[in-house]
Each structure stands twice: as structure tokens, then as C-alpha cells.
Amino acid sequence: MNQKSNTFLETEPIGGLMRKYAVPCIISLLVAALYNIVDQIFIANASYLGSYGNAANTVVFPLTVVALAIAVMIGDGCCAFVSISLGANKQEDAHKSIGSAVILCVLLSLLLTAVYLIFQEQILTIFGGRVNEDTFHHAKEYFFWISIGVPFYMFGQAMNPIIRSDGSPKFAMISTLAGAAVNIVLDPIFIFLCKWGMMGAAVATVLGQVLTALLSIWYLCHMKAVKLNRNSFRIHGRLAGKYLPLGICSFLSQISLVAAMAAIQNMTLKYGALDPIFGQEQYAQIPMAVLGIVMKFFQIVISIAVGMAAGCIPIVGYNIGAGRKDRASMLFTLLLAAEAAVGAVALLIVELLPKQLIGIFGAANESVYYTDFAVKCFRIYLCMMILATVNKATFIYLQSLGKALLSTMLSMIREVVFGVGFALLLPAFFGLDGVLYSMPVSDVLTFIISAIVIAYTYKTLKSEPVKEESR
């Protein structure tokens, strides 16, 4: 091709492009997050499952994030690379990288499924599943069926950003929405009518993921800016070596979150047992269940933050490839302002409406200790939401600029050095409350570093002359 595809990314107004790409991406990620959240809502409101089922859901949740981490590493990395390739008019690199990403995703998803099925009990124990016998039983049942769906889940999540890079953010959104709709419809049928318990919640989720995967396959056969052929579907090592580093930040931001959740859940298990209330057998699962709920709300907010930033990846990548650093700088400013606004709204909700939030997750069926601890968790654990959203946007924007190493380092500092470190350290001084303090302390320290990186990024984007913009 002599003419570049997706040239509108270089000419249309930045604000309009951001809305066009970010909104579908936000909705896609929110819907993906809602798979587990919807399960937890229905589980919590089923009297025969309650907080035991809730705690089991919390135990399994990080293991779905492991699958997501691998998927987004492939998908986001390929998305950034394809966008840069299209901006530079390198069609062959674009189609071969997509085909390679498809094959790699399928192989890794099958491997992860095998690991989950073989080492089920050991894995659940690592993530605090043995808080009590009922919780462990429910966790095993839920995890088995979720593991069966891992290949479909990973494929749908990996293809979503690739579909966006082809200029179809709406289809990416619709494919995810369709799967979520199936889950929402089937959850109450399987849990309340069929009385299938944790198996019902998991099977509903997997069936939704199957639909999203099938729609993604259909789109790959009907791509617009990139045309795939038989030669595309190979592991092209040279290209994989280029796009995987661009997705490593997405991988580490998710996988390090898993490490933080493992630390938090184990500290919750350890110090909850020392608490005068939660050390009692009948209340032992409450801290684990409540922290899972608070993490789910955080996931909703971060899905919006990540969606806005990830939605900008094709726009930034194309303009950097086309030499339009001025437009990339304008987009960064808009993104940071929008992220701070999202964080501010989330902060108001958790500080003013914590009882209403916990009420959605079956608080009426639980003891007063359940509600009291939940209110405390929301108000402390999430009190630095504004900084959390800005930090996340900064990491992902750097990824879209092709600065994989810097993005990765920042993500690792936040999630592993601070996230895991403070989750392990603070409970030694503050007991169970120390688990709650670990989140805001980590966000404050990370923001100090992010502020320096933001200033550096603006300087970099203004360091070279740019083309005249077409009007």
C-alpha cells in the first residue's frame, strides 16, 4: 500500500479521538471486570453461599488476573506495535504481528489451564483459600470451572486491543458486552433457580467468555486496516521480540497486582486470626470477603482509568510514528485531567456511601461486624484514589510512547516494591489495619515518582520539531 491506513488519527481533533477510542475501551474493560463482580454480587445474595462464597470468590479472583496479565501483554503490546507500524506505513509488520499474537495467546492459555487444573489445591492455598473449610470447598468448585474457561477468556481479552488498533473500538466493546450480558442473564438462573452454587456462577462466566472469543474470531476474518493471510499465523520471533516488550508493562501491572493481592490475602488470613472478633471460626471469612469486595470496587475505578489510557494507545502510537509529537502532548494533558476527575468522583463515593456499596454485596444477610469492617476498608484502603488513577495513566501512556523499560520499572515499583512491601510490613505494626494502610501509602509514594516522570515526558515530547498539522 502506498497510502497509510487510519490517517484520521493524525488529522482529527484530539478530544474527539480520545472519546471515540477511550469510551469503548473503558466499557470493554468495565464489562470484563464485571464478570467476576457480577458473580460476587449474586453469590453474596444467595443465602446458601453468603460470605463463604464471597471469600471463595476473592481467593480465586487473583488467578483470573494472572490469565488477564498474559492476555493484555500480548494484546496491548501488539496493539501499540500495530498502531506504530500503520503510522509508519509498514503493513507487513502489522499483519504478521497480529497472526503471531493469536498463536502465542492460544498456546499460553492452554498451558496456564493445565497448570491450574494440576496444581489446584496448592495454588488456592497460596492465595489464602484455607481460611476455613467451607471457603476452601467453594473456592475449589469455582476455580475448576473458571480454569476450563481460561483459553476463551484470554483469547477474547488479547484480541480486544488488537481489534481497537484496526480502527474498530466499537466492535471490541460490543464483543465484550455480549459475553457479559450472557453472564448476567445466566448467573441468577444457575445460582438461584438451578441451585448450582459456585459451579453455576463459574459456568455462566465461561459461557459469556466463549461468546466473546467467537466474536473476536469472526472479526479477525473481517479486518479493515490490516489484512491477514495464512502466512500471518506463525510465531514471528523478530516481531514478537518487538511487540511483547511494549506489552510488558500491562503484564507487570496485572501480575504485580496478583503478588500484592497474594500478600494482602495472606496477611489478612494471618492477622485476622489474631483479631478478637475475626479470630472466631464463624467470622473468620469476613475480612477476606470484605477486602475482595473493596478490591472489586477499586477494579471498577481502575478499569475506567486504564480504559482511558489504553484507548489512547492507537492514537499516540500512530502520531508518534507519523512524527506528530505535538498531538501526543495534547493528548497526555487531556488524559491526566480526565484521570484525576475519575479518581475524585470515586473518592467521594467511597467516603460518603460505603454502607450503600456494601449493601449491594449481601450485607443484609451478614453480621454487624461485616458492615463495620467494610465501611472501614472502603474509607481507608481507597482514600488516595485520585493519585492511583493518575499513576496508572502515566504508566500506560509511557507504554504507548514505546518507553517499555521506564513504564515497566514504574509499575514494578508501585505494585511490588511498595504494594507487596507495605502489605507485608505495616501489619506487623498495626495488625489488620496495617493491611488497609498499605494501599494509600503506596499510592502517595508512587505519585512522587510519577510527577517527575510526567515532567520528563512533556520535555521529551517538545524536544523535536513536528510537522505542520493538516487543517
Confidence (pLDDT) at 390: 94
271 close to 427: Cβ distance less than 8 angstroms: yes
Lowest mean pLDDT among 95-99, 267-271, 375-379, 419-423: 95-99
pLDDT single digits (tens) 326-348: 788 888 889 999 999 999 999 99
Confirm whether 80 is domain-assigned.
yes
- The angle formed by the CA atoms of residues 361, 416 and 77, to the nearest 5 degrees, is 85
- Classified as helix, coil or strand, 431 is coil
Q: What is the pTM of this model?
A: 0.75
Confidence (pLDDT) at 3: 45
Instruction: Please report where in the chains the cell 474509607 appears, as a residue.
Output: 379
| pLDDT bracket for residue 215 (50, 70, 90) | very high
Instruction: Please report where in the chains the cell 511494549 appears, as a residue.
Output: 246
Instruction: Please report where in the chains the cell 492452554 appears, as a residue.
Output: 110
Residue 361 pLDDT > 80: no
Residue 2 pLDDT > 60: no
| pLDDT bracket for residue 96 (50, 70, 90) | confident
To which H or E segment does residue 3 belong?
none
342: region left, alpha or beta (phi > 0 left; psi from -120 to 50 alpha): alpha
**Average pLDDT of span 306-315:** 83
More confident residue, 464 or 215: 215
Number of domains into which the chain is organized: 1
Confirm whether 112 is domain-assigned.
yes
To which H or E segment does residue 312 belong?
none
Burial class (CB in 10 A: 0-12, 13-18, 19+), 428: exposed
pLDDT single digits (tens) 230-288: 877 888 778 888 888 888 777 876 787 788 888 888 898 889 888 888 888 778 888 88
**Average pLDDT of span 365-373:** 82
pLDDT single digits (tens) 123-174: 999 888 887 888 899 999 999 999 999 999 999 999 988 888 787 878 888 8
Task: State the chain's mean pLDDT as an integer.
Answer: 85
More confident residue, 322 or 60: 60
Confidence (pLDDT) at 376: 93
Dist. CA 3–CA 73, nearest whole Å: 29
Q: How many CB atoms lie within 10 A of CB 405?
A: 12
pLDDT single digits (tens) 409-458: 888 888 889 989 999 999 999 999 999 999 999 999 999 999 998 898 88
273 close to 279: Cβ distance less than 8 angstroms: yes
152 close to 183: Cβ distance less than 8 angstroms: no
Q: What domain range includes position 203?
A: 16-461
Dist. CA 25–CA 197, nearest whole Å: 32
Dist. CA 239–CA 147, nearest whole Å: 30
| CA distances, 58 to each of 40, 43, 125, 182, 372 (Å) | 8, 11, 13, 22, 19
Dist. CA 6–CA 87, nearest whole Å: 8
Residue 470 pLDDT > 60: no
Residue partners of 151: CB distance under 8 A and separation at least 6:
106, 109, 110, 113, 213
| pLDDT bracket for residue 466 (50, 70, 90) | very low
76 close to 250: Cβ distance less than 8 angstroms: yes
* Cell (9 digits) for 387: 493519585
Rounded to a whole number, what is the distance in angstroms from the first to the last CA of the chain? 24
Confirm whether 68 is domain-assigned.
yes
37 close to 299: Cβ distance less than 8 angstroms: yes
DSSP code of residue 416:
I
| pLDDT bracket for residue 200 (50, 70, 90) | very high
Dist. CA 367–CA 415, nearest whole Å: 33
Q: What's the count of helices (H) and strands (E) in the chain, helices before strands?
A: 20, 0
More confident residue, 396 or 438: 438
| CA distances, 30 to each of 36, 155, 274, 310, 377 (Å) | 11, 17, 36, 13, 22
Confidence (pLDDT) at 340: 95
Confirm whether 466 is domain-assigned.
no
Confidence (pLDDT) at 209: 94
Determine what percent of the chain is predicted with pLDDT higher than 70: 95
Residue type (1 letter), 165: S
368-381 vs 286-311: helix axis angle to the nearest 10? Answer: 30
**DSSP assignments along 108-134, one per residue:** HHHHHHHHHHHTHHHHHHHTTGGGSHH
Confirm whether 147 is domain-assigned.
yes
Residue 189 pLDDT > 90: yes
**DSSP assignments along 370-398, one per residue:** HHHHHHHHHHHHTTTHHHHHHHHHHHHHH
Residue 50 pLDDT > 80: no
- Residue among 287, 227, 296, 290 nearest 257 (CA): 296
Confidence (pLDDT) at 365: 67
Confidence (pLDDT) at 312: 81
* Cell (9 digits) for 134: 467451607
Confirm whether 2 is domain-assigned.
no
